[in-house]
Chain A
Amino acid sequence: MKFHLKNFNDEGVVINDDTIHSTVLSDSDGYGSSNSKTIYRSVIRWTMKKNGHEDKPWPPDWFEKSVEYLSSCIL
């Protein structure tokens, strides 16, 4: 997660377990579904599936929560 957040981080936000997703990602930095919020979610789910993990439902409030919170929900 932190690897991908770093690659979408265009404002120098400190990336660690406490980073809030909405401080880095946005749903308006691209066109339509091509935005960092959708792409981030898609690539994390791809990673889960391709590494043999269960593709668990994401919590509705993940965008406003930290990396650690999301990890605890989907890992």
Chain B
Amino acid sequence: MKKKLIHIALTFALMGPSLQVFSQEKPVRIDLSTIKTELRTSAISLGISYLKSLDSLFTLQDIHQAEKNTLFQVTPEFDVLTGTSDAFSSVSARLSGIYMLFGDTLIDGVLTPNTARGFQTFPFSAGFETNNKFNVLNGIVEAGWVPWYQTEGNRKTPGWLKHTKFGLFVQAGYKFGIDTTGITTIGGETDQSFEAPDHAILRTKGSFGIDTQSLFELSGVGVGISGNADGWYDFLNNRVYYSVQGKIRFYLTGDKNRFFDFKYQKGSGAPNFNEGDQFGMGLTLMF
């Protein structure tokens, strides 16, 4: 326990300067990981996923459209995954939104979407993805289909299936040749994609994930497993890329907002599509 507290204290000390940059009063998700990479170099990986509601980012709260059995909402999103040495890295900033198709129902005389039954969601986003050296910059538009079959009201859906997620996406954009940094990247930072600078990007992406939540308790700490697999097909270069990540997760509190991971990842995903692997541990706190 003492070692754990020290580790947490150390990670807070390390992330302090970075947090100042993204200091906001809105929900912030922090993923801080000590990672051992394929080059056997110790690294610190700091990921910040920042989601800010339209209410606070825009003067007017609304980019929300309500129609019969459909809705449309747009939200800005900013994600950072960076690290020291050769750890995987990426940065993305985008405007993302969702279009939903659903049935409706009356609850106590109030018309509302029937989330007790499955419904269809179509997330979309437009923005940029880069690495933390800013020597790769992709402008990307993405649209996809994510069926929402996990609803608890779907009694015919097997319980294990409700812990999974699935999505199909199409990504199109442009890879800008902006590398004037003169920085030689190594290990997980290396751009191994076949997408050439100053050329168009056209990919399809399939994603599958499983998160068992807390399967059992160990000395009062919930233990679960989490895994994600993403595959891309690069139409313009006839290439396949992939990223697979597995985690053993220890929930430090019952509200899922604080957990500790041991994780393994093979393949970095976009934009570098680095084929290396990395493994390590991380603490995630959500405020």
What is the interface of chain A, defined by CB distance below 8 A to chain B?
3-4, 6-11, 20, 22-23, 26-34, 38-39, 41-43, 45-47, 49-51, 55, 57-58, 60, 63
Residues of A within 8 A of B25 (CB): 60
Residues of A within 8 A of B113 (CB): 4, 43, 46-47
Given contacts A4-B112, A29-B211, 19 further A-B contacts (CB under 8 A): A3-B112, A7-B116, A8-B115, A10-B162, A27-B29, A29-B150, A30-B165, A31-B146, A31-B167, A31-B169, A31-B209, A32-B142, A32-B146, A34-B144, A41-B53, A45-B73, A46-B113, A50-B66, A58-B55
- The one of B51, B77, B115, B144 in contact with A43, judged by C-beta atoms closer than 8 angstroms, is B115
Q: How far is the CB of A21 from chain B (nearest CB, A)?
A: 10
Residues of B within 8 A of A38 (CB): 73, 75, 98
The majority secondary structure among interface residues of chain B is strand
Indicate if the CB atoms of A50 and B165 lie closer than 8 Å: no
- Tell me the complex Cα distance, A9–B122, Å: 22
- The one of B75, B111, B153, B256 in contact with A47, judged by C-beta atoms closer than 8 angstroms, is B111
What is the interface of chain B, defined by CB distance below 8 A to chain A?
25-27, 29, 49, 51, 53, 55-56, 61-62, 64, 66, 71, 73, 75, 77, 96-98, 100, 102, 107, 110-113, 115-116, 121-125, 142, 144, 146, 148, 150-153, 162-163, 165, 167, 169, 207, 209, 211, 213-214, 254-257, 286
